[in-house]
Amino acid sequence: MADPHCDVLLVGDSLGNVLYGFDTTLPVTLDMMIMHGRAVVIASRRALVVVDMPFASYEASKEQAFASAARVMQETGCGAVKLEGGVHFAETIAFLVARGIPVMGHVGLTPQSIHTIGSFRSQGKAEAAALGSSNQPGPIETDAIAVAEAGAFSMVIEAVVEPLARHISERVAVPTIGIGASWACDGQVLVLEDMLGMTERTARFVRRFADLGSEADAAIGAFADAVRKGAFPAREHLYGLQEPSLSPKTVV
C-alpha cells in the first residue's frame, strides 16, 4: 500500500503503541521487530525498508548491537536499521557501519528514553533560543553531528522545535527526516495508523489524511446489523443455495 508512494518504509517500534496497545515502546522485543519487518520486506517492491532496533537490543555494548542488527538484517531482508541516541551511541553506529550494516540515526525526542526524559514533549527550546549567541552547538545539535560523523546515512529528527531542526538540517551532511520538526528536513515521516486516522490519540505533529477508524467502525456496525437481520449473506454470497433461515444470528 505505501510502497508505491514512499521512498522509505520505516518499521518502527511504535508498532507497540498502535498494534499492541502498549503505553510506551519499551515492551517491544527484537523478535517482534523481526516478525513485522519480514512481513513489510515481503510486501515491498521498491522502497528502502528500515527496521527499528528496539529497547535493550543494542545499548549494552557494540557487540550486542551488532548481534541484534545482524539478526534483523538476515531474518528480515531489510536494507538498514535505525537506532535512537546521539553522542553516546556514535561509537556503536560506527561499529555497525564498519561491519556492513547501514544505520539511520534518531535524535531529539527519543521514545525509548521516556522514563529519563519524563514526557513526550517537544525538545530543544532553550537550545533554539541560544542559536546565534554561541559558537558551541547545543546537546541536540551535538548529537546530530556525532551521528552523522559516525557514518549514519540519514537521521530522524523527532519533536524538535522548528528553528533548531532547520538549523541541524542545514548543518549536517546527511539527509534528515522530520517528524514534528521542520519543513526544512529532507524528508518527512508519520506513523501509518496515525496518518490514516486509525488511532484515537495523536501528537500535535500528526495530520490525518483519512478517517479510516470511523469508516471501519461504521462498516463493522453495518455488517453486524445485516447479520442480525438476516440480510447477510444474501443469495449471491452462497453456494448450493437452500432456503435461508431468518432467525437471529451471532456475529463473529
- Give catalytic residues, as residue numbers: 158
| Measured distance CA(80)–CA(89) in Å, rounded | 16
Flag whether 169 is marked binding.
no
* Angle ∠(153,155,161) on CA atoms, nearest 5: 155
Nearest to 69 by CA among 84, 58, 55: 58
Which contacts qualify for 135-139: CB closer than 8 Å, 24 or more apart?
A: 138/164, 139/86
Flag whether 23 is marked binding.
no
My answer on whether omega of the bond before 244 falls inside 30° of 0, hence cis, is: no
Flag whether 194 is marked binding.
no
Nearest to 7 by CA among 198, 148, 175, 197: 175
| Measured distance CA(180)–CA(161) in Å, rounded | 8
Flag whether 217 is marked binding.
no
Sequence letter at residue 161: V
Flag whether 82 is marked binding.
yes
Nearest to 73 by CA among 15, 11, 151, 149: 11
The terminus-to-terminus CA distance of the chain in angstroms comes to 27
Q: Which residues are annotated as a binding site?
A: 13-14, 52, 82, 84
**Binding-site residues for 3-methyl-2-oxobutanoate, please?**
13-14, 52, 82
Instruction: Return binding residues for Mg(2+).
Output: 13, 52, 84
